[in-house]
Amino acid sequence: MTAFGFQPHDHTDCIRTTLAQADAYCAEHKLKLTPIRRRALEILLAEHRALGAYDLLAVLAKDGLGTAPPVAYRALDFLTSAGFAHKIEGLNAYIACAHFGADHSPAFLICTSCKSVAEAETTATQGRLGEAARAAGFAISRTVVEALGLCPQCQEAPCA
Amino acid sequence: MTAFGFQPHDHTDCIRTTLAQADAYCAEHKLKLTPIRRRALEILLAEHRALGAYDLLAVLAKDGLGTAPPVAYRALDFLTSAGFAHKIEGLNAYIACAHFGADHSPAFLICTSCKSVAEAETTATQGRLGEAARAAGFAISRTVVEALGLCPQCQEAPCA
DNA sequence: TTGCTAAATGTAATACTATAACATATCAAG
DNA sequence: CTTGATATGTTATAGTATTACATTTAGCAA
């Protein structure tokens, strides 16, 4: 359950710091980090793994913040648009961004056993995808770069 | 509708050639390219763009080859397992493989306007994902590498 | 303050994507 | 020919996401 680049770390601190950064970012960019949105981000940060929209919704519902699917999807739309979270297409799930702030094109290492996710930093025009796009005259607006496999822990203990 | 690396080409020939290759590959590997599976591949080849499972099913149904969802998903499972087709995660859609045969880790350029898809060839351990995986001790089993954006044609005619 | 406008939220219904479960049929190997 | 594995037929359901519209809230201007 605890994974960041597959290493344990201090969750409480990372949640608090990132929420503060999000508050500051929204203030500066005239975005509204409403209670639902802020709580959704907090939930994703606390889990620190990919969470389905309905999983998120279940937690929001326990807090009395909404019960219908659009509540979760709207919060996720906001968070992903603002760059506070990303969608993992290979899992139809969402995760808090590990590299707060700037516009970026994340790459993910996703453990299919324990569901932990590591986020690597890239730019959209790097790597083989960027090469191929330039060669083809293709204009990239978004990239999906994900590797599914086993994290170091789960390679050692496959039956966990 | 006609796109291969976003260039027009001879569909009829490419369908025939690839089906023949698939027949040969299945004979050699003791796989059964049954009528449903063969027709599904033919449909994907003919469209030459990402097709939803239910879109495929609709065509199969017109041919009297089945009406229930498992018909389409089973055919797609077979085709993707055999390497004859790939799933585009960013679109929840499927496309015939443009590089027949060998085991490979495809990278896609996907036009969000006309839905055409170009497939680039890579290996799972190449590029930034491979670097990140090695650094983290992560064992890759499958990669998802996709760029969403506009193909050359749609950049010029955005209102098509 | 009042009223306007845009954004956010509440809610119900529905669409889209995918799988589970189980019965039946087909086919190759012994 | 029978057995076992694979493929297909079919119904139901699970999981993911959006549309549509009513209501509320927040910010701003008259």
Q: Which tens digit of pLDDT belongs to each residue from A61-72? A: 999 999 999 999
B71 nearest nucleotide via C1' and CA: D8
Across the interface, of A127, A136, A149, the residue whose CB is closest to B140 is: A149
Domain chopping of chain A, boundaries: 11-96, 107-156
Q: How far is the CA of B74 from the C1' of C20 (A)?
A: 13
- Which positions on chain D have an atom < 7 Å from some protein CB? 6-13, 15-20
Q: What pLDDT does residue A114 have?
A: 78
- Neighbour-count burial of A138, counting CB atoms closer than 10 A to its CB (0-12 exposed, 13-18 middle, 19+ buried): buried
pLDDT at B128: 73
Any A CB within 8 A of B139 CB: yes
Please state, for a pLDDT cut of 70, what percent of chain A lies above it: 86
pLDDT at A116 over 90: no
Q: Domain B11-96 falls in which CATH fold? A: Arc Repressor Mutant, subunit A (1.10.10)
Instruction: Give the type of residue at A16.
Output: R
Residues 6+ apart with CB under 8 A from B77: none
Over residues A59-104, the pLDDT tens digits come to: 999 999 999 999 999 999 999 999 999 999 999 999 999 877 666 7
Task: Identify the three-state secondary structure at position A115.
Answer: coil
Over residues B100-128, the mean pLDDT reads: 77
- Mean pLDDT of all residues in B20-44: 95
Q: Which CATH code is given to the segment(s) A107-156?
A: 3.30.1490.190
The structure tokens listed for B147 are 């760029």
Please name the residue that has the structure tokens 């770390």. A9
Q: Provide the CATH topology of domain B105-156.
A: Dna Ligase; domain 1 (3.30.1490)
Say if A11-96 and A107-156 have the same CATH topology.
no
Q: What is the mean pLDDT of residues B95-117?
A: 82
C-alpha dist (Å) from residue A137 to A43, A132, B3, B111, B153: 40, 9, 14, 12, 9
